[in-house]
A = this chain, B = another copy of it.
Amino acid sequence: MNIDDLRFDDRGLITCVVQQHDTGEVLMVAWMSRESVRLTLETGTTWFWSRSRQELWNKGATSGNMQRVIELRADCDADTLLALVDSPGPACHTGNRTCFFNALEAE
Contact = CB atoms under 8 A, between A and B. Distances in A.
Interface of A: 1-4, 6, 15, 17, 19, 23-26, 28-29, 37-38, 41-42, 71-78, 80-82, 92-94, 96, 99-107
A106 B42 contact: yes
**Taking chain A's interface residues, is the majority helix, strand, or loop, or is none over half, making it mixed?**
mixed
Given A2-B107, A15-B29, A26-B26, A101 B81 contact: no
Contacts of A81: 104
28 contacts: A1-B102, A1-B103, A2-B104, A2-B105, A2-B106, A3-B107, A4-B107, A15-B29, A17-B26, A19-B24, A23-B24, A26-B26, A26-B82, A28-B75, A29-B75, A37-B104, A41-B104, A72-B103, A73-B103, A74-B104, A75-B102, A76-B92, A76-B93, A76-B96, A76-B99, A80-B100, A81-B104, A82-B100
